[in-house]
Amino acid sequence: MSVVPDVSRRDFVKTGGALVIGFALAPRVALAQGRPAPLPASLNTNRMLDAWLRIDPNGTVTIFTGKIELGQGIGTALSQIAADELDVDLQRIQVVSGDTARTPNEGQTAGSLSVEQSGTALRFACAEARDVLVSAAAAKLGVAAPGLTVSDGAVTAPGGATATYWELAGSAGLNREATAQTKPKPAAEHHWVGRSVPRRDIPKKFTGGAAYVQDIRLPGMVFGRVVRPPSPGARLRSVDEAAARRLPGVVAVVRDGSFLAVAAVREEQAIGAREALKRSARWTETVSLPPADEALYRHLMSLPVPGQTVSEKTSVTAAAPAKTLEALYTRPYQCHASMGPSCAVARWQEGKLVVWTHSQGVFPLRAELAKVFDMSPQDIRCIHAEGAGCYGHNGADDVVLDAALVARATGARPVKLQWMRDDEFAWEPYGSAMVMKLSGGIDAQGNVVTWSHELWSQSHNTRPGASAGVNLLAARHLATPRPLVPPADVPQPSGGSDRNAIPLYDFPNVKVVKHYIADAPIRTSALRTLGGYANVFALESFVDELAAAAGADPVEFRLRHLNDARARAVIEAAAQRAGWRPSAKGDGERGRGFAFARYKNLACYCAMAADVEVERKTGLVRVARVVAAVDAGQIVNPDGVVNQIEGGIIQSTSWTLKESVRFDRTQVTTRSWADYPILRFTEVPEVDVVLLDRPDERFLGVGEGAQGPAAAAIANALANATGKRLRALPFTPERVRRNLLQVDP
């Protein structure tokens, strides 16, 4: 398989009658005094129309987005939005994404914001571009613009005269600043938005085509591997470089401090050389990791990290609690566990660097690479290519620096460097372990009158660009390490460690406090949902515990404390579809649980009911069925939304039942799939998703909306089935069996 990606640059020029996009990577400053008027979403920081689309004389439209495809179907959804606003057939739309030389800078593709940010920007940009093109047609045809109609790019006058977008491309200038004054179409006029259009990225993945960065092949390309230290605190003392250089096919051996890597003509030669270097390498190791298992959570809570009040409200009229509860919930370190190990391709030519990467943020990555190599960001180009697995900040950015360091030693020969499986498990940034301590009180009528949520967590965002330091793994292993500056926590309203810790319920007295552990020996970063998964698990589990204390049905209890009409609607829809029976009891082996959340308290609403089955003898838990109801505002691609919710439920089921990183005081011991079991196909639950489409509402991110509610629904179902509450993730057979054997006080 030979894949040679396009690396041509485009500039602000007119070529062959086409409107060629200019790469407006920073907003144009308005000529008038004062700041320019704010524009919607990502259009505000990428204000030129031709930063977003190009009309080609061959009858196609190319749209440009800084958001990238992660398997969430963003390329398809954005194409639907553009096709509707431009009045062109969907097949005419081509998509370019995540290229520092070609696309707008939209930061990271994260937080379920792609349609909300990039889709909104494209919607307004394409609506305005259509106006520009129709005005150009009016001038050419000699008629007033309001009398013209557009169908698939053909602008037609009342008398039948026609001018096409492709003919107008040379005269209708899109090299202008957007105004966002053109109103996008109402939902009633949409042809593509709201339809389940087949995903553009799927065919190559199903047919073995060149779908991923791992598939890239360039002329003269060699293959690289890295020899990682055996533990986070290890330092390289010595290694037999000469012996490795004598091995067949070896092109370069790179040692810089404790960074050790090799390049060879063939991939198996690079793997063999890596093994030889590993055998000869001598390291100094130190005890640097925290205690494991249950001691980990006591350790986190004992750290001298002051509490920060995230949210607080008080009521002088609320009744005093008649009954109070307190509970402690925990979540371990968890992996992204990408199916394809992280990979990148790098090439140096004439002092400039080009990389192909599955990074979620090509512009922040470019800035980080510029710091490491002491060069201008303009001399580095980062081009996105999909990776075989993601779910947040895995090794995608780190492997780019690895590849660039090795490629610098191979002359102009490009290097494809891929991590080995043990690299991926031991060195990717994990989702942080967390502790959530909740307390609450109910009055004599069973209403919640006090609520407290206190949490301990490491960082959920050490991505490139998250701080003034260099957040790339190899940078800390170099002879002259680049500084790693601990980032601040992601602030509210979206939040990082405290994401979804503020309840949406109408409780009169609420206090949320976080203990943010900025610097810690185990490396952590963004795993899908950040702190939202653990906080929703804890919050919604505790809601059920309070409902039980009040003698109330869990669904009725939630509705009783909610005024948000859209929140109530998804809860009612999920309960109805699931056939919820109020206050139904489990039979010791089967049970049903319910949960609800609005992701980040800003994005989609999601409620779900889960049915579980428990083998009491073995402790094995099986999630049989999950019913979810989702309100994501206006839905662009219904099947795409269902895909995301289904995937989120399945992933959360795996996290909740199985996944946990193992380590001792020196090193991570999770190194293979045998050490890190995940959900198997035979264990996937039946999933039923109900969509509450709201065509007149704005887009709401959906990709990370299901994980938290799924964990809580499973936890609540397990408690309903067995009569015993598990508060420590994951619910492994051993943990469930121990819990069932405990005698209640």
pLDDT in tens, 523-540: 999 999 999 999 999 999
| Chain center to CA of 198 | 22
| Residue 5 confidence class, pLDDT cut points 50, 70, 90 | low
| 49-72 residue pLDDT tens | 999 999 999 999 999 999 999 989
Query: Based on the domain organization, do 589 and 555 belong to the same domain?
Result: yes
Residue 629: Cβ within 10 Å count: 26
| 231-278 residue pLDDT tens | 998 999 999 999 999 999 999 999 999 999 999 999 999 999 999 999
Q: Identify which has the larger pLDDT, 31 or 491.
A: 491
Residue span of the structural domain in which 637 resides: 296-333+430-460+496-741
Q: What is the rounded end-to-end Cα distance, in angstroms, of the chain?
A: 65
Query: Based on the domain organization, do 194 and 227 belong to the same domain?
Result: no
If you average pLDDT over residues 274-289, what whole number do you get?
A: 97
| Residue 33 confidence class, pLDDT cut points 50, 70, 90 | low
Query: Based on the domain organization, do 303 and 410 belong to the same domain?
Result: no
Tell me what percent of the residues of the chain surpass a pLDDT of 70: 95
482 within a domain of the structure (yes/no): no
Give the C-alpha separation, 104 to 402, whole Å.
Answer: 26
Give the C-alpha separation, 279 to 240, whole Å.
Answer: 9
The residues facing 328 across adjacent strands are 437
C-alpha R_g of the chain? 27
Query: Based on the domain organization, do 435 and 420 belong to the same domain?
Result: no
491 within a domain of the structure (yes/no): no
Number of domains in the chain: 3
Please report, for residues 192, 300, 527, 582, 739, the alpha-carbon distance to residue 726 in angstroms, rounded to integers and kept in the order given.
Answer: 45, 20, 23, 22, 7
680 within a domain of the structure (yes/no): yes
Report the amino acid identity of residue 394.
Answer: N
Spell out the SS3 assignment of 344-358: EEEEEECCEEEEEEC
Answer for the pair 585, 720: CB distance below 8 angstroms, yes or no: yes
| Residue 390 confidence class, pLDDT cut points 50, 70, 90 | confident
If you average pLDDT over residues 161-166, what whole number do you get?
A: 96
Query: Based on the domain organization, do 300 and 390 belong to the same domain?
Result: no
pLDDT at 409: 97
Answer for the pair 503, 511: CB distance below 8 angstroms, yes or no: no
Query: Based on the domain organization, do 353 and 230 belong to the same domain?
Result: yes
Break the chain down into helix, strand, coil percent, rounded to 5. Answer: 30, 25, 45
The answer for residues whose C-beta is within 8 angstroms of residue 242's C-beta and 6 or more apart is none
Query: Based on the domain organization, do 513 and 638 belong to the same domain?
Result: yes
Query: Based on the domain organization, do 605 and 730 belong to the same domain?
Result: yes
pLDDT at 17: 33
Query: Based on the domain organization, do 658 and 575 belong to the same domain?
Result: yes
- Residue-wise DSSP of 483-495: P-PPPPPPPTTT-
Query: Based on the domain organization, do 356 and 301 belong to the same domain?
Result: no
Query: Based on the domain organization, do 219 and 97 belong to the same domain?
Result: no
pLDDT at 483: 85
pLDDT at 209: 86
pLDDT at 170: 79
Answer for the pair 27, 36: CB distance below 8 angstroms, yes or no: yes
DSSP H/E element including 251 = strand 250-256
Query: Based on the domain organization, do 58 and 121 belong to the same domain?
Result: yes
Rounded to 5 degrees, what are φ and ψ at 603?
A: -100, -140
User: Which of 427, 451, 473 marks a domain boundary?
Assistant: 427
6 within a domain of the structure (yes/no): no
Q: Give the residue carrying structure tokens 């001298």.
A: 304
479 within a domain of the structure (yes/no): no
- Of 465, 502, 505, give the one whose Cα is nearest residue 487: 465
8 within a domain of the structure (yes/no): no
159 within a domain of the structure (yes/no): yes
Strands 250-256 and 259-264: antiparallel
Helix 396-407 and helix 362-373, axial crossing angle in degrees, nearest 10: 40
| 299-318 residue pLDDT tens | 999 999 999 999 999 999 99
CA atoms within 13 A on the CB side of 545: 24
Q: Domain holding 437: CATH number?
A: 3.30.365.10
| Residue 10 confidence class, pLDDT cut points 50, 70, 90 | very low
The answer for residues whose C-beta is within 8 angstroms of residue 571's C-beta and 6 or more apart is 555, 558, 559, 562, 594, 596, 607, 629
User: Which of 186, 206, 226 marks a domain boundary?
Assistant: 206
For residue 169 the two structure tokens come to: 């491309």
391 within a domain of the structure (yes/no): yes
